[in-house]
Structure 1
Amino acid sequence: MHPLGLHCAAVGDHPGPRDETVRAALWRAAEHGATLLDTSDSYGLGHSERIIGQFLSEWTGHRLQVSSKVGLVRGTAPHPYAARHIHHQFEQTIENLYLEPPLDLYTLASLDFGPADRYLANATTHMRILKQNGDVTAIGMRGPHAALGAPLEEWRRQAARFVHLFHLIQPDVVWTHYHGLTPAVPLTDRGEDLFGFTRRHGVGLVLAAPLAHGLLAGGPLHRPTAPHGLGPQHAGPITAGLQELRDQFGDAPGTLSRLALRMCLQKADHAAVIFGFRNEAHVDDNYACLGDDPLGPEELAVAEAIYARMRDGMLDAGPVPAHEVAM
């Protein structure tokens, strides 16, 4: 697949891009060569899936792969992973997308399996049935996740839980938020990060939010739709790091975006990267800023060192009080 695809999370949100704007953006991404469209039954409560479905019914070019998720929409079930709710949601997803099975990737979007993981076995069983029946090609699970402003201990706790669930779920793909501000937390005693861990297990990666909800492209720290959980105390390290990147690589339009996207794209050869978008121009900008050449080894080392200093500065600034975290 083309390593850079679309994350259609904002479709159907209020406020969010209009339907005709989304369809134009989908066309532009496909014309740029994108092959992966990522959505979920929770994005606009199915509206994202339906808009993608309408686009797929009109697109006559190269084959597009579709990723969707389950686990955040409960409906009338006692839990999103209870009984046959996964099957019900899957059938609705297929209908929304105007697709015939198999769906390329179907991901457990939440690692909340109820009290004492009550619904874990049920969720795992039903996902495997979907794959065995040929309804989905690959099973995904959410990667370790915490708010960016969370202390390192919380990231370590989430990493340990992810590893525990990974061995039980046995996914084909891990879907996770990842960018230059993501804390580097080892998953195993041998010091493996998520990239080494998934490579050793033969599991693919989908990396979402490579621009950290616009922060790494120079966007504002506070936006209602940016679930990063950062506070005013984090502005200093982020601003200083972005300026250091400009000093090293120049201040031409798209430079910050190129660095953030290239860093993720070059992180592993078993990963695809997906980015959110506002409109057709935003899609054009992200594909155009990549340029023809990857970052060289020295450039990549400099960029990653600056991102590491930004992460350290954010951790030193301390977390945002729980009641103030933007979700």
Structure 2
Amino acid sequence: MTAHDLGVRHLCRGILTLPLGLHCDVPTDHTFPGGSAGASRFLAGFHRAVEQGATFFDTADSYGCGHSERVLGQFARQNPDLALQLSSKVGQIRGSAEHPYAGRHIHHQLEQTLENLYAEELHLYTLDSFDFGPGDRYLGNAIDAMRTLREVKAIRAIGMRGPFTHYAASAGEWAAQAERFLYLFRLIKPDVVWTRFNAFTPAVSLEGQDLFAFTARHGVGLVLAAPLAHGVLVGKGAESPSSRAPVPPRRAGLVPWFRDRVDEQLHILRLRFGDAPGTLTRLALRSCLQRGDQCVVVAGFSSAEQVVENFSCLGDPLTELELGIVDDVYAALRAQVRETASRMPVKELQP
């Protein structure tokens, strides 16, 4: 594996962007401490990201039932001179339609998304579900709708979800997801694949290749979300200076036994790479960024300070040896997920 710098990358047709962007899953008004006033923290995060050079902002109509899009749109209205590259998704919200992909529902949702985002076009619009109705009844309609939107330049690129199930799924469940993905991929012919990817994501075989080699061979871009596994990969050891930050909610929800096993593996990385603030963040982000030149990573955040850390900690590329060490530790984490899966409910293993 060769080193990849942090210059502009070609994600797909019409999208040249810096490789680290923002995943904008903003809580709804009623779940956000402080209500609408609390959203100011996320607006501050958007400002910090732009200051750090971010251009790619990823959201979805289902995030907070449109609230995330509206907060990002508020930012766009306040900063009309910024050339933001906006990505959103469709397929989770049905509304009054028979199905999220039925009839003109995709067109209607895009109209609302563009209004929410204060935008005239989307750079990337992703089909956010593998569910196309009984017998894939609405698959053809969804494909036609997305291609029409691209032709009329309402969107620049068509995206689809990558193969994914819960982290503790069996090899057979992951293989079934891969088979379903391949079937849909051949029909949809996307420009980009959007997928969750981090240390807990097992490799899936796609025509004998992993997702990175497969998409590169087909000339398709990759957007990698949840690179920090919702904060789990940041660690919580008391000896870490960065551990003064609150434990992320997803991490706090892990059962103590499994959380301790995660910390044991992350301690190996601390011993090898040091314990300075941002070290574990750098390793998690770099292990995604260096998977391929067609990859763009979108990292979530809960504060402007976290945004600054994510963008400022990247440093030099990891060497082949360093990547191997990180990969070995992450492989051990995946093995522990499989081991723990036999002991407790899957819902308690979702980083």
- TM-score > 0.5, shorter chain as reference: yes
Deviation at 1:308, TM superposition (A): 1.1
Q: Structure 1 residues 224, 312: CA separation in 2 closer, same or farther (over 3 Å shift)?
A: same
Q: Structure 1 residues 147, 137: CA separation in 2 closer, same or farther (over 3 Å shift)?
A: same
Amino acid at match of 1:197: F
Farther-moved stretch of structure 1 (167-176 vs 16-25)? 16-25
Farther-moved stretch of structure 1 (305-314 vs 137-146)? 305-314
Amino acid at match of 1:15: T
d(CA) in 1 for partners of 2:74, 2:311: 23
Is 1:304 the counterpart of 2:327? The answer is yes
Matching residue of 1:81: 101
Farther-moved stretch of structure 1 (43-52 vs 64-73)? 43-52
Q: Structure 1 residues 85, 152: CA separation in 2 closer, same or farther (over 3 Å shift)?
A: same
d(CA) in 1 for partners of 2:228, 2:295: 16
Task: Write out per-residue CA displacement over residues 176-230 of structure 1, whole angstroms, 9 at most, x where no aligned residue.
Answer: 0001221112122x3x00000100100000000000111111159xx99649x96
Cα contact 1:19–1:51 (8 A) shared by 2: yes
Q: Structure 1 residues 225, 116: CA separation in 2 closer, same or farther (over 3 Å shift)?
A: farther
Deviation at 1:82, TM superposition (A): 0.9
Is 1:22 the counterpart of 2:48? The answer is no
Task: Write out per-residue CA displacement over residues 85-142 of structure 1, whole angstroms, 9 at most, x where no aligned residue.
Answer: 00100000011111112x1000001111122222111111111111111111000001
Is 1:214 the counterpart of 2:231? The answer is yes
Matching residue of 1:165: 184
The equivalences for 1:206-285 within 5 A come to 206-218=223-235, 226=250, 234-285=258-309
Find the residue that maps to 1:213 and give its secondary structure: helix
Count residues with an aligned counterpart.
Answer: 321
Matching residue of 1:67: 87
Deviation at 1:30, TM superposition (A): 0.5
Q: Structure 1 residues 294, 323: CA separation in 2 closer, same or farther (over 3 Å shift)?
A: closer
Task: Write out per-residue CA displacement over residues 154-187 of structure 1, whole angstroms, 9 at most, x where no aligned residue.
Answer: 1121111111111111100000000122111212
d(CA) in 2 for partners of 1:150, 1:232: 21
Matching residue of 1:203: 220
Find the residue that maps to 2:229 and give its secondary structure: coil
Cα contact 2:254–2:348 (8 A) shared by 1: no
Find the residue that maps to 1:93 and give its secondary structure: helix
Deviation at 1:240, TM superposition (A): 2.0
Cα contact 1:10–1:276 (8 A) shared by 2: no
Amino acid at match of 2:194: W
Is 1:91 the counterpart of 2:144? The answer is no
Provide TM-score, normalisation by structure 2. 0.85
d(CA) in 2 for partners of 1:310, 1:126: 41
Matching residue of 1:5: 21
Farther-moved stretch of structure 1 (147-156 vs 89-98)? 147-156
d(CA) in 1 for partners of 2:159, 2:236: 30
Matching residue of 2:9: none
Amino acid at match of 1:213: H
Q: 1:295 aligns with which of 318, 322, 339?
A: 318
Cα contact 2:158–2:191 (8 A) shared by 1: yes
Q: Structure 1 residues 326, 257: CA separation in 2 closer, same or farther (over 3 Å shift)?
A: closer
Amino acid at match of 2:175: R
Q: 1:178 aligns with which of 188, 197, 202?
A: 197
Cα contact 1:8–1:39 (8 A) shared by 2: yes
Q: 1:135 aligns with which of 143, 154, 157?
A: 154
Cα contact 2:289–2:296 (8 A) shared by 1: yes
Amino acid at match of 2:309: D
> Root-mean-square deviation (CA), in Å?
2.3
d(CA) in 1 for partners of 2:160, 2:93: 16
Cα contact 1:237–1:314 (8 A) shared by 2: no
d(CA) in 1 for partners of 2:47, 2:300: 15
Q: Structure 1 residues 215, 28: CA separation in 2 closer, same or farther (over 3 Å shift)?
A: same
Q: Structure 1 residues 14, 2: CA separation in 2 closer, same or farther (over 3 Å shift)?
A: farther
Find the residue that maps to 2:230 and give its secondary structure: coil
Is 1:111 the counterpart of 2:127? The answer is no
Question: Which runs of no fewer than 5 residues in structure 2 stay unpaired?
Answer: 1-16, 238-246
Matching residue of 1:58: 78
Matching residue of 2:63: 43
Deviation at 1:313, TM superposition (A): 2.4
d(CA) in 1 for partners of 2:20, 2:230: 16
Cα contact 1:209–1:275 (8 A) shared by 2: yes
Deviation at 1:15, TM superposition (A): 3.2
Task: Write out per-residue CA displacement over residues 51-87 of structure 1, whole angstroms, 9 at most, x where no aligned residue.
Answer: 1112112225552200000001110111111111001
d(CA) in 2 for partners of 1:262, 1:326: 22
Cα contact 1:6–1:275 (8 A) shared by 2: yes
Cα contact 2:125–2:157 (8 A) shared by 1: yes
Question: Which runs of no fewer than 5 residues in structure 1 stay unpaired?
Answer: none
